[in-house]
Structure 1
Amino acid sequence: MLTTLRTHQRKLFLIITVVVIVAFAWLYDPGNMKQFQSSGLVQIYGKTYTQTDIDREVKNFTLARALGQFELLSELGGLSQNEQRAVEDFIFNLLVLQHQAGLLGVEPTPEQIAERIQSLPVFQTDGKFDYQKYARFVQEQLGPRGFTEIQLETVVRDSLRLEKIKSFISAPATVGAAEVDEALRIFQKVDVQVIRFPAIANEASAAIAQEEITEFFNRNKMTSPETRVVKFVEFSLPADAANQTDSGKKVEAMQHLADTAAAFAEKAIGGFDTAAQQAGLTVQTSAAFDKMGRAKEGVAITELPEIAPQAFLLSEKTPVSDVVQAGDKFFVLKLETITPERALTVDEVRPIAEARLKLIKAERLAAENGQKAVAQLREAIAAGKPLPEAALALGLKVDTLTGLEPQKLLEQNIPYEAVKLTLLLQPAQLTNYIPTADGGVALYLQSRAPTDAAAADQASQRVSVENDLLEGKRKLLFLSWLDDAREAAKITPLGRTR
């Protein structure tokens, strides 16, 4: 079946005469490649993986995103908000998964891989496999990035491995009726009274002593990050091309612009300013910026976060960059200055330390006062006094909310931690003090309504909750297995320190 796909693809290549390089912005991230290039060797299951091996797995990560294999990415840690952590977790977990699949004998067959490729939404038209879409994807999005069909098949193979292992590992998971009954509380409407505690301003805390600032300074070791300044020239589409609705014409204009930028980059190696002057281009100088593209002042460059990774690859030996694309623009950069990372002095840290320490003291004082007030409210309630009356005596405000499902409480400026507690409270119980962004709250449960929805709705809710609980247990079983498998893999970085 895989041979059949390639045969059709080669026939279509004879028809497609113009190679359109329209890459997904997330298909290739040179910043991640750079970070892994400095990582050295890694040993897993006693086998040493070289930089070439790691680079191959980085390609699998980016291609998995392009193919929409989000279950594979999610289960192996590839959707972390920290991009570097996401890539690293995904690669190491993937190598463990591949090794364990062989041990467990759950390798997918070529027929299964071909069938899954044909079912991917990116290759379908009207619910059917479209060879032309497959061919275009390989030619336009894989080839220009150094990918091949082999990598595509590898990603699909890994997705199938994951499904087979998850099915095997999570088979023992079950959900009991009592668990479902407890979980169904999320649908039971509640009547609650919300006690709101005002925030305590930072100024209310005591002045910060020099000893505290010194301790903060010694404990945190804060630094000013390395920053760079670059000269740059910008290549933008003319207004008529930028607003072009014909995608083909816009791609053609983009390609011409990229070629122009590439020609300038070649000449700029011999003299950046001279090449710009000869080409009639304006040379601009950026503000100092860090690796994340953050700059406080200077020339405003909207695309700075996108070009910063390339700027940090430049050096005195190679001060001029290749063409850097950011949206519909292209840039060529020249390194001007490097300001190394340095440790902040005590005087530089002082305002940061004072602000943080005052905030910590204010939060601690608010929590102490809040817990004392909650204890007094509990005593008053036990003595038979209504909560609103007891709260008023302490100068606190009470809001009464009736007939709301717990999740609806989130819309009433009640923190998630407090809402979760309503599922555990019994009527006439009061939570502890819970801090919020604008002070704090405590919740008093007046009553919880019984599950009295229509039988059909109730049955539907029960099935839904049971399925969610079962899926959660399966996920926990898989993650527990993966943790054990990673421990057994003995992942050891070589030739570097963390």
Structure 2
Amino acid sequence: MLTYLRKHSKGWLAYTAFGAIIVVFVLWGGSSYISREANKVAKIDRTIITTEQYSKAYTDTLKRYQTQFGQALTPEMINRLNLREQVLDELIDQYIIEADAAKMGIGVKDADLQMFISQVPAFQRDGKFDEATYRRYLEYERITPAEFEQRARRDFVKQLFKEVLTENVIVAPQEIEAAFHQISDTYELHYLTVDSATFSGDVQVSQEQVQGFFDANKERYRIPPRITIAAIDFPVTRYLGSTEVTTEEAMDYYDGHKGEFSEPAQVHLRHILIKVPEGADAASLTKKQELAAQIIKEAKDGKDFASLAASYSEDEATAGKGGDMGMLPLNSFHPELGKIVESMKPGDVNGPVMTADGIQIIKLEGKEDAKAIPFDKVAASVVDMLKMQRARIVAHDEAEKAFMEFYEQDKLDLEGYAAKQGMEVRRIGPFSENEKAGIAMSQETVKKAFTFSAGELGEVIETPGGYAVYQVVKKDLSRIPDLEEVVDVVTADAKAQTALERAKEHAQKLATAPMNELVSSNPSSTGKFTRSASAVPKLSMLPKLMDEVDSLGTPKVYESDGRVFIVWIKSKDTVDIRSLDKDQAEGLRKGLLARKKELVLQDYLEQARDEKKGWHDVVIERERLAGSAERVPQDVPPPMDFN
């Protein structure tokens, strides 16, 4: 088994770092089975996935996507990913794999797990396991060793389970040939764009048409459940004036936390960036790599690195400065790159390093070790920090006291309490679970607020400025509004739909015109691409297009976001299969084999859920998924994608 694990260690680490959706199944915890039944999102056999477990998995997954995509991850993208369903599917699949693997006797021993972790290349220095590198990786990923080992164990089980399922899977020569053409043949498409907005100017809709559109799309205008709360704030600033911290206390804190008061080790780097376009074919990538090798050779032969950067680097921000990136904290790098930089000496050149931006060549100009900051330079900030901490504790205690006072009242009286204390009661809402509440509440807190009845006391909640106690004063159930409430929006939507239909009709007529007329209409071009690209250049909003590219000898009509596209093939260059050498063929075979094995696993999981087969009893409470917020977390490490 260890031989298998070592062989697959590199791919497994990448899967763990960027793609895996892992959750801790706490089967019983401190709650009773009955309470878990009432709080379930799904139930597989007798195992329950609670809303808390689902929420944690959802948040963890969002953070992984944020790390991978950065600012490109928008709420709209999360919706398109169907993340709510995706997370739940992963949780259910995880249970099925673990349960069925156990029945087959598949497991990972502790000794095997520890041996594998020690041999992961990313955790090694000079060919040996390095504890500091391992800890730095975990710190960057913000997980504990126990959490990482749990993830590793589950991924091992999944990989071994997949191997058992797929031991007879093979790849036929015809499949290798098709894959070769997919990555080698190049296409260029022509397209015309028809914007529905150009047809909206004279669109008129009658009251009957508006009513009909509304009746056919009522769910689109559903108003979600909403609540209104009354809250009393307990801000930290209210208690700062009565909080004292002496210089001696600040010194004690400084002495006990010196690691917090140091400047991190820094490095002075220069770099040369060779950009690699998205979807670049193998030949283009090879040329880029050859150029990088040439630059590295020239640099190591003594040619001035700054001059090389000025000549070759495609980083517009630094090329004119000889590739100078300035001083950078060593701990700001991805662990893989950090390990490379840390091992370098001033004057060393290293590369090529593949990053999200392209191929990088780096030169270390200098290093500065971590330095302790003297107490006198941070004394004032330490005093302020300790005062803030103590004032926050007081604010929390006062909020808890108020909560207990309200709890013991026969009839809640927030107004009376606020008047006595010289405070104010804020009325907030109405708001839904996915709307900003007018008070900084975590998504978990917002969800909890919706569980209270109208008139019921909520709980003590933490806010950026301190704490608050709230009461739910009103609850509005989800409902379909009367047309009069949303008539302006419905009218605009009905007009837009009519304009879109007109645009489609116009596009269909254009698509049947002679080819010379289409070409004379000054179409746009996608540029050349292969079918191995993630999407067709300039037309990524049409996800089905890549699969249908070979059928575009005849123009076809597509629609996306109020625009209609007429698309056809401008040119196709087919590469001779005889140019495929043995090494390339073997690489394609391995890639195809991995994909086929994954498809076999997915097919197995679909069958395992099939109610008719009866392998597992799966019950899903889909209405409870709606409470999960589609927010992008901000408290995650900056996105880095170094291989």
Q: TM-score, normalised by structure 2?
A: 0.40
Q: TM-score, normalised by structure 1?
A: 0.49
RCO greater where, 1 or 2, for CA within 8 Å and sep 6 or more? Answer: 2
